């Protein structure tokens, strides 16, 4: 059969063996679950931390500055190892790999999100506040109708970029033993080394496609919103 031959040549055949495709999808779900929980926490915490960062308090400024620098300098993988292998030994607690991953990604995502929130907030010119005040609006009204809508418009494309970066970076969690989509892929390739030597291409191409399917709609949404708000 020509069709089957083609599948085999490129190593896609392994996907149809047993429950392999289902396992890949389950692996994708593990990766997405970690990212979605981390993203949700990061957005919530980032909004608060970012708003706090606009305060002119020097202590708050110094602390958030250091936090941001640490997150920027430290590779995510080092953070994962530190939390999962390091702290479990020292403090003797029993963190699951998945929880460790959520902690690390939230720690990272919150810093990045907070910086985006801070940047968007301070980019609203002082005159916008004053125009509202001069019309008799109270500070809560100025935030609600003038500042926050403009901040959100600037924030959404930026934070969607962050979200897709976070989803992609979750592939690192296999390094601490979480069986997510990439790890499942490797297992399938290992198991079929003899029968389908080309499985690596088929499996990784599929993983690529799965990541693409997960991130693409988010990018599309970002473009859509950007276009809609370009006038505004």
Partner 1 sequence: MREEMDNQEVLLTAEHLHKEFDGTVILKDMNLSVKRGEVIVIIGPSGCGKSTFLRCLNGLETIQGGKITLDGETVESGGKGIAGLRERIGMVFQSYELFPHKTVLQNITLAPTKVRKIPRGEAEKEALELLERVGLEEKKNSYPRQLSGGQKQRVAIVRALAMHPDVLLFDEVTAALDPEMVREVLDVMLSLAQQGRTMLIVTHEMSFARAVADRVIFLDDGEIVEEGKPLEFFDHPKTERAQRFLNTFTYAKVEK
Least CB distance from residue 197 to partner 1, whole Å? 58
Residue ranges in 102-141 that form contacts with partner 1 under rule CB under 8 A:
125, 127-128, 130-138, 141
Single out the residue of 169, 181, 170, 190 nearest to residue 209, CA to CA.
181
Tokens for 77, please give them. 């993988």
Report d(CA 14, CA 21) in Å as an integer: 9
Residue 227 interacting with partner 1 (CB under 8 A): no
Single out the residue of 188, 193, 183 nearest to residue 16, CA to CA.
188
Shorter beta-carbon distance to partner 1: residue 5 or 125: 125
Shorter beta-carbon distance to partner 1: residue 33 or 153: 153
Shorter beta-carbon distance to partner 1: residue 62 or 135: 135
Single out the residue of 2, 5, 14, 1 nearest to residue 197, CA to CA.
14
Report d(CA 185, CA 28) in Å as an integer: 10
Residue 57 interacting with partner 1 (CB under 8 A): no
For 206, list phi and psi in degrees, rounded to 5: -65, -45
Shorter beta-carbon distance to partner 1: residue 54 or 131: 131
Least CB distance from residue 225 to partner 1, whole Å? 13
Judged by the rule CB under 8 A, the positions of this chain that interact with partner 1 are 125, 127-128, 130-138, 141, 145-146, 149-150, 153, 229, 231-232
């Amino acid at each position: 059969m020509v069709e089957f031959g083609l599948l085999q040549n490129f190593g896609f055949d392994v996907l149809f063996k047993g429950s392999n495709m289902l396992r890949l999808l389950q692996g994708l779900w593990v990766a997405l679950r970690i990212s979605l929980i981390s993203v949700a926490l990061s957005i919530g915490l980032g909004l608060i931390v970012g708003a706090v960062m606009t305060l002119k308090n020097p202590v708050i400024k110094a602390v958030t500055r250091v936090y941001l620098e640490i997150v920027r300098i430290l590779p995510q993988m080092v953070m994962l190892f530190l939390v999962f292998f390091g702290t479990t030994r020292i403090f003797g607690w029993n963190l699951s790999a998945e929880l460790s991953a959520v902690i690390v990604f939230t720690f990272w995502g919150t810093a990045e999100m907070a910086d985006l929130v801070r940047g968007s907030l301070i980019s609203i010119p002082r005159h916008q506040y004053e125009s509202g005040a001069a019309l008799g609006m109270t500070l809560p009204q100025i935030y609600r109708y003038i500042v926050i809508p403009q901040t959100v418009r600037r924030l959404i494309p930026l934070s969607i970029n962050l979200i897709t970066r976070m989803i992609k970076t979750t592939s690192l969690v296999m390094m601490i033993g979480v069986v997510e989509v990439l790890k499942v892929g490797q297992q399938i390739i290992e198991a079929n080394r003899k029968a389908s030597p080309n499985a690596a291409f088929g499996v990784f191409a599929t993983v690529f496609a799965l990541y693409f399917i997960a991130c693409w709609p988010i990018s599309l949404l970002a473009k859509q919103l950007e276009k809609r708000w370009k006038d505004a």
